[in-house]
């Protein structure tokens, strides 16, 4: 069944015996929750805050899957939620009360056509984890092969269908009164959320997602994706190979298991960037319950395992390339180009005069971009950017709802492992390396905009900065710089590099003479970065 908000609204209105009791329950629960937090939320007593966290957990858990998803998003943000509440909210990821075991066995048999006893050598009497949409059992097919069997909660479509109507109606009513300037109704975000939820409860789609995700990372030894067992999977049951690892819940648990939090963060962030900026297909729900730290290390990167591929999304090639450029333009303070990026992405109208916007971007965002890009994180930018939403004609396109959710969750997860984490410290080197090594025409254009100014002179400091970022962030700079050198030569002699060749010649030859200063500066950078000593 597909998500159709108008159909579902009519369906609920025609069933007042469902609508009225649920409405009364939601209103009563909300009033009690708000009242309690108003009375006790500012208390400095840790025990009271702990009790509030437990109460919040139980309230969200009792409200059902739609509300649990919101709580899961909050559980990844230690910078937004009090620590005492956060400790409880993390239980929303995989520690919710399970449903009846016998009912789970019945659902399995109805879906697969055989009881668990005929398929598994061992099947436990209780789940190892229980989340918003289903519960997971650790079972054994044979003496050497353990699997994760996820069985969907009963009556899930009905519950989600019902509650999405209430949430969507509430957003439509309250949206005009909230201090938001999104450029679209809040109900459009709920529609994105609803569509993703309906996809998430179809485990056949999740199986397809897992196999596609596995293909994307098949040559990456730092990422492990479980294998789907199709003959023990259906729309309400999915069975995959078991991943044995440490949940990314806190720094201490990783250290206790002999794992390096920094290397794990690096892998998680870089894989997230690959999904968003390279593959165009990303895991939209990277909370700690869906990622595991694994033993092993490749260079400066740890190994992680992804699970639960119900909530996935795609981003167009055009948006991917523009986002890549926007990151570099932000760091380099190219606010004119950044304004163009926002316009291409739909954050600004095509009719908007960008000459008026560039100074605003510089005023609002310029202060957070200093010489040390390592100090920059995503939340700093979004906090500053939110100021623009109230006073200037910026809008958030609806298609970016899941993208923003994924990035915010990713950074929140990293902050749990390292409170001093700055996403740009890992993101910028990845982007710089892509610009310097890939032959994508759009990326070549971005690179050209970065290293050549309006007069076609080489911005030597920018070029050196990109090379330095790639070199400084690697334990073996030579291994990273050799592909840069190889690609640079290939680009200059290729058809795709015609525009770069033209600009390079124009920068070196001025008034029919060689610009010796420009030439000397370029040779100095090449000699410094690509000397035999550096490449060893």
Residue 304 and residue 268 in contact, taking contact as beta carbons nearer than 8 Å = yes
Residue 417 and residue 251 in contact, taking contact as beta carbons nearer than 8 Å = yes
What is the SS3 assignment for 401-453?
HHHHHHHHHHHHHHHHHCCCCCCHHHHHHHHHHHHHHCCCHHHHHHHHHHHEC
For residue 126, give both structure tokens.
Answer: 């209780």
What pLDDT does residue 371 have? 44
Q: Is 378 left (phi over 0), alpha (psi -120 to 50) or beta?
A: alpha
Residue given tokens 């805050």 in the structure block: 49
In eight-state DSSP terms, residue 334 is -
Q: Assess whether 45 carries a catalytic annotation.
A: no
Residue 346 and residue 395 in contact, taking contact as beta carbons nearer than 8 Å = yes
Sheet holding 237-241, edge to edge: 129-130, 134-142, 145-152, 237-241
What pLDDT does residue 239 have? 97
Residue given tokens 């009690």 in the structure block: 32
8, 285, 313, 341: which is the annotated catalytic residue?
285
- Mean pLDDT of successive 10-residue segments in the chain (536 residues)? 86 93 93 88 83 87 85 63 73 79 96 95 93 92 93 92 89 64 62 84 94 94 95 96 88 89 88 90 85 89 92 89 85 85 86 84 69 56 62 72 78 78 72 76 79 77 74 62 74 76 76 71 76 58
What pLDDT does residue 65 have? 87
Decide: pTM greater than 0.85: no
Q: List % helix, strand, coil for the chain (3-state, nearest 5).
A: 60, 10, 25
Q: CA-CA distances (angstroms) from residue 289 to 89, 188, 284, 286, 514?
A: 12, 27, 13, 8, 60
Best CA proximity match to 477, nearest among 409, 424, 529, 404: 529
SS3 280: coil
């Amino acid at each position: 069944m597909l998500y159709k908000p108008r159909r579902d609204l009519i369906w609920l209105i025609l069933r007042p015996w469902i609508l009225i009791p649920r409405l009364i329950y939601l209103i009563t629960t909300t009033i009690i929750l708000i009242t309690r937090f108003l009375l006790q939320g500012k208390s400095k007593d840790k025990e009271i805050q702990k009790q509030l966290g437990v109460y919040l957990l139980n309230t969200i858990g009792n409200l059902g899957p739609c509300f649990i998803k919101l709580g899961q998003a909050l559980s990844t943000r230690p910078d937004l939620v009090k620590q005492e509440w956060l400790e409880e909210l993390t239980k929303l990821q995989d520690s919710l009360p399970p449903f009846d075991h016998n009912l789970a066995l019945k659902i399995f048999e109805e879906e697969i056509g055989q009881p668990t006893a005929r398929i598994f050598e061992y099947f436990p009497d209780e789940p190892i984890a229980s989340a918003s949409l289903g519960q997971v059992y650790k079972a054994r097919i044979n003496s050497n092969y353990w699997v994760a069997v996820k069985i969907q909660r009963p009556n899930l479509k009905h519950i989600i269908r019902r509650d999405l109507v209430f949430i969507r109606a509430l957003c439509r009513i309250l949206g005009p009164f909230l201090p938001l300037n999104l450029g679209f109704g809040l109900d459009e975000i709920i529609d994105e959320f609803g569509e993703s939820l309906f996809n998430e409860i179809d485990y056949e789609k999740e199986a397809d997602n897992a196999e596609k995700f596995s293909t994307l990372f098949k040559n990456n030894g730092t990422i492990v994706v479980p294998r789907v067992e199709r003959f023990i999977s259906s729309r309400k049951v999915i069975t995959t190979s078991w991943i044995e690892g440490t949940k990314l819940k806190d720094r201490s648990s990783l250290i206790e298991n002999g794992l390096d939090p920094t290397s794990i963060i690096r892998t998680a962030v870089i894989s997230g960037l690959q999904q968003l900026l390279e593959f165009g297909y990303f895991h939209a729900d990277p909370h700690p319950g869906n990622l595991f730290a694994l033993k092993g290390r490749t260079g400066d990167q740890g190994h992680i395992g992804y699970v639960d591929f119900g909530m996935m999304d795609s981003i167009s090639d055009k948006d991917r390339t523009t986002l890549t450029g926007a990151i570099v333009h932000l760091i380099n303070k190219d606010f004119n180009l950044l304004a163009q990026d926002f316009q291409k992405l739909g954050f600004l109208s095509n009719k908007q005069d960008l000459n008026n916007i560039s100074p605003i971007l510089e005023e609002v965002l310029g202060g957070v971009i200093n010489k040390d890009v390592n100090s920059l994180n995503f939340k700093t930018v979004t906090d500053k950017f939110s100021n623009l939403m109230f006073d200037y004609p910026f809008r958030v396109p609806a298609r970016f709802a899941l993208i923003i959710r994924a990035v915010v969750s990713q950074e929140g997860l990293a902050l749990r492992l390292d409170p001093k984490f700055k996403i740009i410290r890992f993101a910028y080197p990845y982007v710089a390396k892509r610009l310097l090594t890939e032959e994508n025409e759009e990326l070549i254009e971005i690179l050209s905009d970065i290293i050549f100014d309006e007069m076609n002179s080489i911005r030597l400091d920018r070029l050196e900065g990109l090379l330095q970022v790639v070199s400084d962030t690697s334990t073996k700079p030579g291994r990273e710089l050799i592909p840069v050198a190889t690609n640079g030569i290939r680009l200059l002699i290729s058809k795709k590099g015609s525009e770069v060749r033209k600009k390079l010649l124009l920068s070196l030859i001025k008034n029919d003479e060689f610009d010796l200063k420009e030439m000397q500066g370029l040779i100095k950078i090449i000699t410094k970065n690509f000397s035999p000593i550096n490449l060893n």
